């Protein structure tokens, strides 16, 4: 790889999972440099060689100890000034277990929130996910001027 290719920005792939219990959604309180104290869906980065479904199951298990049957629900293209993620968001149709803090270096709590009244301090990378879910929007893209299509 030449130096120019190494400097070129690249797109990252995020994997997230919506887990519901009645009309409540499971969110985790983040610990760390990025998004400290904000709430987010279980999820993380896609790893080389995985299927999208495998990645979602792995992230859910690693972070919450839950196992689930998953369905791809949303694709969200989210370019920002310094990063660009494409998120594949899954819906846990049937899940097993009780949420636990399986990664105490990344999360301080897992909590159920009313879907229509989520906390105000949602992680900046996930802010559009819940409104898009409520409005049954499965695909979100952005133009260069960041206007949603």
Tens of pLDDT along the chain (149 residues) come to: 556 556 778 899 999 999 999 999 999 999 988 899 999 999 999 999 999 999 999 999 999 999 999 999 999 998 888 889 999 999 998 999 999 999 999 999 999 999 999 999 999 999 999 999 999 999 988 755 555 44
- What domains can you pick out in the chain, each with its CATH number? 3-140 (3.90.79.10)
Q: Which pLDDT score, from 0 to 100, does residue 145 have?
A: 55
What pLDDT, on the 0 to 100 scale, is given for residue 83?
A: 87
DSSP, residue by residue, the chain? --HHHHHS---EEEEEEE-EETTEEEEEEE-SSSSTT-EE-SEEE--TT--HHHHHHHHHHHHH--EEEEEEEEEEEEE-SS-EEEEEEEEEEEEES----S-TTTEEEEEEEETTS--S-B-GGGTTHHHHHHTT--EE-B-TT--B-
């Amino acid at each position: 790889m030449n130096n120019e290719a190494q400097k070129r920005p690249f797109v990252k792939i995020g994997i997230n999972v919506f887990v519901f219990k009645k009309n409540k959604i499971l969110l985790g309180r983040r610990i760390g440099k990025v998004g400290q104290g904000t709430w987010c869906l279980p999820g993380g980065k896609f790893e080389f060689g995985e299927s999208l479904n495998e990645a979602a199951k792995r992230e859910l298990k690693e972070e919450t100890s839950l196992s689930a049957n998953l369905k791809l629900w949303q694709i969200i293209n989210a370019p920002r000034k310094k990063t660009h993620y494409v998120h594949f968001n899954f819906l846990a149709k049937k899940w097993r277990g009780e949420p636990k803090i399986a990664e105490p270096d990344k999360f301080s709590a897992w909590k159920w929130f009313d879907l229509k009244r989520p906390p105000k301090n949602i992680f900046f990378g996930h802010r559009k996910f819940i409104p898009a879910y409520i409005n049954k929007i499965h695909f979100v893209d952005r133009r260069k001027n960041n206007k949603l299509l």
